[in-house]
Amino acid sequence: MIAIVESGTTKTSWLFADKNNITYEYKTIGMNPYYQSADDIQKSLKETLLPNLEFSGNVDKIFFYGAGCELQAQRDVVKSGIVAVFPKTEINVNHDLLAAARALFGDKPGIACIAGTGSNSCLYNGKDVIWNVHSLGLFLGDEGSGGYNGKLLVADYIRKAMPTHIREKFEAKYTDGTKEILDAVYLKPFPSRYLASFMPFIVENINDPYMHNLVYKSFDAQFTNTICRYENYQNYEIGFVGSVAHYLRDILFEVAKAKNANVTKIIQAPLQSLVDYHKSLGMVN
């Protein structure tokens, strides 16, 4: 039995596969070492994953791809939390950028991008990530992400820069006022999750010119500050994973066209493509 795991800041998708190709899928909350300790991860898995497992026997290997796992120290935090729950299992922890690249391009080169709760990008040579223009996270960057879009939205709400008809819809849907919003962003954990929680409202109202412009501005910033900084980016295939890219693909393609960028593939969730990738290496059979 092996497990392939894809984790963002908001949710984690687990796929267990046995030697007969029987699979079991589960969802848990996101695991990000920027926001959680090894003890937090261990506790979460014991409470939300272990009680729900529908199979018996050992898990031989876990291939974990996660947000916030750029550096070895961060990977070690995640690995320690998982090892405490699966002590007899070989644990492999990698950055979610590698998951995006493998899911999008397999063994071919390209620029792999993430636009979900958070955002990121990398240049992939068909085997490894060879260049990453840092996303800088929620407070300094994360352009194109759900958190970034939510940040633009609530900033306009607090500053009364939002059109009246959108403001009325916003207040009819949400009870949070200025104080609650600021507390959630600056005082409570997981501010990116909170800000990304406004994405359904953005998607529901995407045909409004104000909302279209907000999302266009977000994707434009992602291209300008990260994707277009890869040398000769126009010559590469560019792919995206993540719900924000998936649901707002029309605007994403608008921005890409304006930047002379060749976006060829958008995947909402990379897990099944990762399974296919690992199958191609003979790791799932």
Per-residue model confidence (pLDDT) at position 141: 92
State residue 20's pLDDT score.
74
Contact 42, 84 (CB under 8 A): yes
Q: What is the pLDDT of residue 121?
A: 95
Domain definitions of the chain by residue range: 2-100+271-280
Pinpoint the alpha helices (H) of 135-264: 137-140, 146-158, 164-173, 178-186, 191-196, 199-204, 209-225, 243-247, 249-258
Cα–Cα distance for residue pair 120/118, rounded to 1 Å: 7
Q: What are the residues whose beta carbons fall under 8 Å from the beta carbon of 12, sequence distance 6 or more?
A: 5, 6, 27, 28, 29, 30, 31, 66
Count CB atoms within 10 A of the CB of residue 80: 17
Distance, in Å, from the CA atom of 142 to the CA atom of 123, rounded to the nearest integer, reads 17
User: Which residue's structure tokens are 């687990």?
Assistant: 14
Query: Hey, what amino acid is at 85?
Result: V
Single-letter amino acid code for the residue at 130:
I
The pLDDT score that the predictor gives to residue 285 is 47
One digit per residue, pLDDT tens: the chain, 285 residues? 888 998 877 789 898 887 777 788 888 888 888 888 999 999 999 998 988 888 777 888 899 998 888 889 999 999 999 999 999 899 999 988 998 999 999 889 999 999 998 899 999 999 999 999 999 988 999 999 999 999 999 999 999 999 999 999 999 999 899 999 999 999 998 899 899 999 999 999 999 999 999 999 999 999 999 999 999 999 999 999 999 999 999 999 999 999 999 999 999 988 778 877 877 776 554
Report pTM: 0.82
Q: How many CA atoms lie within 13 A of 149 on its CB side?
A: 31
CATH tag, 2-100+271-280:
3.30.420.40
Phi-psi region of 280 (alpha: psi -120 to 50; beta: other; left: phi over 0): alpha
Q: Which two three-digit tokens encode residue 66? A: 């996660």
